[in-house]
């Protein structure tokens, strides 16, 4: 019985000494992580307040950025979005500090890669917002120009211009996020080729008369100048 007790007692004693040795590191890691979470929550609140004072959400509403996301079923609140990014950035930083104290090198290295990836997420969001803003601007300009020229299909041409910019912005954001960049480039090349082919076929099959009238008018104008 004593031999069995000694066999069981030795690992338990060794485990107890290991826990006692690691206890200061565990307590330190918990304290660092809790402080980091509190800082992250406080900074999130500050970011939301600053964005609210700058009236960025009101500007996004006027520029029809929010309405574009609403059509996709996404309720955009820029203050909350940036606050969420800041909060999780500092939570991950706190996790890095805690895992470094515990000596978990593999986990620490992985979390560092996550932190280094966050700027790509921010840039991708900015690209999408800029694409929506530019798309709406180009849509209004194209519609006004086509209507001023008394041409047909003003809404159609304006819509095509807008969605071309939105699709390009979406692909650029995916490339920034490093989500299958080679596939995105192939898809973008295919999309451009498809649009060019469709435009050429539409012009060739359905625009013969318009093209003939345009060339006759051009020839008349050149002859009259001479």
102-136 exposure pattern, b = at least 16 Cβ within 10 A, e = fewer: eebeeebeebeeeeeeeeeeeebbebbbebbbebb
For 30-41, how does the pLDDT look when each residue is reduced to its tens digit (9 = 90+)?
999 999 999 999
In this structure, is residue 221 part of a structural domain? Answer: no
Q: Are residues 28 and 78 in the same domain?
A: yes
pLDDT value at position 152? 64
DSSP conformational letter for 157: H
Task: Answer whether residue 1 shows pLDDT above 90.
Answer: no
CA nearest neighbour of 94 among 27, 42, 29: 29
Do the beta carbons of residue 140 and residue 63 sit within 8 Å? no
Say if 113 falls within a structural domain. Answer: no
Q: pLDDT tens digits for 11-56?
A: 666 666 666 767 788 888 899 999 999 999 999 999 999 988 888 8
- Same domain for 95 and 127, yes or no, is no
Q: Could you tell me the residue range of the domain that residue 140 belongs to?
A: 119-204
Whether residues 2 and 98 share a domain: the answer is yes
Q: Same domain for 77 and 163? A: no
User: Can you give the pLDDT at residue 2?
Assistant: 56
For residues 67-96, average pLDDT: 82
Residues 131 and 76 in one domain: no
The answer on 95 and 17 residing in a single domain is yes
19 lies in the same domain as 85: yes
Share of the chain above pLDDT 90, in %: 10
Q: Does residue 79 share a domain with residue 44?
A: yes
54: number of Cβ within 10 Å: 12
What's the rounded Cα separation, in Å, for the pair 152 and 213?
16
Taking residues 87-95, report their average pLDDT: 90
Q: Based on the domain organization, do 193 and 99 belong to the same domain?
A: no
Answer whether residue 74 shows pLDDT above 90.
no
Q: Angle of helix 154-176 relative to helix 105-148, nearest 10 degrees? A: 170
In DSSP notation, 41-84 reads HHHHHHHHHHHHHTTHHHHHHHTTHHHHHHHTT----HHHHHHH
Residue 20 is classified by DSSP as: H
In a domain, 54, yes or no: yes
85 and 180 share one domain: no
pLDDT in tens, 153-212: 677 777 888 888 888 888 888 877 777 666 666 666 766 666 565 555 555 544 555 556
Asked if residue 211 belongs to a domain, the reply is no
Helices (H) and strands (E) in the chain, counts: 8, 0
Domain presence at residue 72: yes
Domain count, the chain: 2
Answer yes or no: is 171 within a domain.
yes
Dist CA 52 CA 44 (whole Å)? 12
For 103, which DSSP code? Answer: T
The answer to whether residues 85 and 132 belong to one domain is no
Burial class (CB in 10 A: 0-12, 13-18, 19+), 7: exposed
């Amino acid at each position: 019985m004593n031999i069995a007790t000694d066999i069981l007692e030795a690992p338990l004693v060794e485990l107890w000494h290991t826990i006692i040795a690691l206890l200061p590191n565990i307590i330190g890691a918990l304290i660092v992580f809790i402080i980091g979470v509190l800082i992250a929550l406080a900074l999130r609140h500050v970011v939301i307040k600053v964005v609210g004072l700058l009236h960025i959400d009101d500007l996004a509403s006027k520029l029809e950025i929010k309405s574009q996301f609403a059509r996709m079923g996404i309720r955009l609140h820029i203050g909350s979005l940036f606050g969420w990014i800041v909060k999780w950035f500092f939570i991950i930083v706190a996790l890095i500090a805690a895992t470094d104290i515990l000596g978990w090198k593999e986990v620490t290295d992985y979390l560092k890669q996550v932190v280094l990836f966050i700027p790509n997420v921010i840039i991708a969001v900015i690209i999408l917002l800029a694409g929506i803003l530019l798309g709406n601007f180009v849509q209004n300009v194209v519609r006004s120009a086509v209507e001023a020229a008394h041409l047909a299909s003003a809404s159609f041409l304006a819509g095509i211009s807008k969605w071309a910019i939105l699709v390009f912005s979406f692909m650029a954001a995916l490339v920034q996020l490093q989500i299958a960049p080679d596939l995105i480039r192939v898809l973008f090349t295919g999309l451009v080729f498809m649009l060019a082919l469709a435009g050429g076929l539409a012009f060739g099959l359905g625009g013969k008369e318009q093209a003939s009238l345009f060339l006759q008018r051009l020839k008349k104008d050149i002859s009259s100048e001479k």
